[in-house]
């Protein structure tokens, strides 16, 4: 009997690459997202090993109902990859768009909590499971305009560790993977669908590829059951910290 991974945000980027890798390696994959057409294309590509679940992770009731609707052969989730997320808005904290903040908090924090809380009890009942949360390199360092996005990813990082504290004494493993810049539709969403702005972001240096992160997920979940890779940060070679900033104070 093959194992099952549920990947939130499988309609593009890291989630889609991970779905492909796991099906190729004989796993069953539940892929989620709001774009049903994309999930249907993946189903056509990956066949019966793939099951698409269309729902918005920001909505608690929709999330519980979606997982409750899984057919029996996909219902026992061995790995949950909490991946769906986004960076919205370009504003500084003093003039940021509050709607963009809400979108990030509702998706990156609340959405992740909804999925975790729905799937975890089954893992505990089966005494088997691994939750892989996708954080970000921005979750541990400040940068201008990173205000709520970076803070939401800091939440993901600490929530992962806090889950481990609560789950001590159970066999459930929790991993937080924090990537640096990765070429996906992330920058397209961040730039409200403007392809040229996205290309500009990815033009500098060579970003990571979604497959780089997919292989990392594959590695952490295949470590021996007594071993839990708790936190990993992965950067493209072309990315490093900018250091402390100084600027004269305008009074």
Ligand X SMILES: NC(=O)c1ccc[n+]([C@@H]2O[C@H](COP(=O)([O-])OP(=O)(O)OC[C@H]3O[C@@H](n4cnc5c(N)ncnc54)[C@H](OP(=O)(O)O)[C@@H]3O)[C@@H](O)[C@H]2O)c1
Q: In the complex, which residues of this chain contact ligand X (CB under 6 A)?
A: 9-15, 33-35, 38, 56-58, 83-86, 107, 111, 134, 136, 179, 181-182, 184-186, 189
Backbone angles phi, psi at 122, to 5 degrees: -65, -40
Contacts of 200 (CB under 8 A, 6+ apart): none
Q: How far is CA 161 from CA 34, 81, 126, 175, 177, in A?
A: 29, 15, 22, 8, 12
Q: Taking the complex as a whole, how short is the minimal distance between the CB of residue 142 and ligand X, in angstroms? A: 15
Contacts of 173 (CB under 8 A, 6+ apart): 129, 130, 131, 225, 228
Cβ closer to ligand X: 66 or 167? 66
The Cα–Cα gap between 57 and 63 comes to 6
Query: Which one of the listed residues 87, 149, 159, 186 is annotated catalytic?
Result: 149
Q: Taking the complex as a whole, how short is the minimal distance between the CB of residue 199 and ligand X, in angstroms? A: 14
Element housing 173 (H / E): strand 173-179
Q: Taking the complex as a whole, how short is the minimal distance between the CB of residue 73 and ligand X, in angstroms? A: 23
The Cα–Cα gap between 251 and 248 comes to 9
Cβ closer to ligand X: 56 or 211? 56
Cβ closer to ligand X: 128 or 178? 178
3-state helix, strand, coil in the chain (%, to 5): 45, 15, 40
Cβ closer to ligand X: 2 or 241? 241
Residue nearest to ligand X (CB): 13
Cβ closer to ligand X: 109 or 128? 109
Q: Taking the complex as a whole, how short is the minimal distance between the CB of residue 125 and ligand X, in angstroms? A: 26
Would residue 149 show up in a list of annotated catalytic residues for this protein? yes
Cβ closer to ligand X: 89 or 179? 179
Residue that has been written with the tokens 């890798």 in this structure: 21
Residue that has been written with the tokens 């790995």 in this structure: 79
First to last CA, the chain: 68
Q: Taking the complex as a whole, how short is the minimal distance between the CB of residue 248 and ligand X, in angstroms? A: 32
Strand partners, 29: 5, 50
Q: Taking the complex as a whole, how short is the minimal distance between the CB of residue 105 and ligand X, in angstroms? A: 12
Q: Cite the active site residues.
A: 149
């Amino acid at each position: 009997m093959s194992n099952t991974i549920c990947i939130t945000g499988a309609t593009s980027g890291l989630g889609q690459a991970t779905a492909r890798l796991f099906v190729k390696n004989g796993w069953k994959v539940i892929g989620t997202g709001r774009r049903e057409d994309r999930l249907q294309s993946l189903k056509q590509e990956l066949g019966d090993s793939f099951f698409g679940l269309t729902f918005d992770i920001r909505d608690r009731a929709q999330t519980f109902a979606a997982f409750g609707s899984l057919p029996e052969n996909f219902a026992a989730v061995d790995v949950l990859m909490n991946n769906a997320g986004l960076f919205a808005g370009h504003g500084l904290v003093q003039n940021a768009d509050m709607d963009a903040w809400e979108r990030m908090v509702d998706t990156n924090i609340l959405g992740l909590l909804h999925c975790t809380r729905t799937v975890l009890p089954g893992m505990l009942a089966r005494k088997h499971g691994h939750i892989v949360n996708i954080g970000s390199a921005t979750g541990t360092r400040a940068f201008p305009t990173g205000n709520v996005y970076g803070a939401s990813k800091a939440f993901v990082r600490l929530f992962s560790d806090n889950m481990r504290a609560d789950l001590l004494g159970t066999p459930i493993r929790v991993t937080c993977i924090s990537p640096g810049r990765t070429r996906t539709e992330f920058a397209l969403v961040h730039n409200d669908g403007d392809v040229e702005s996205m290309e500009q972001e990815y033009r500098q240096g060579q970003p990571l590829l979604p497959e780089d992160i997919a292989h990392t997920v594959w590695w952490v979940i295949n470590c021996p059951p007594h071993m839990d890779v708790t936190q990993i940060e992965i950067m493209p070679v072309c990315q490093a910290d900018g250091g402390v900033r100084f600027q004269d104070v305008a009074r």
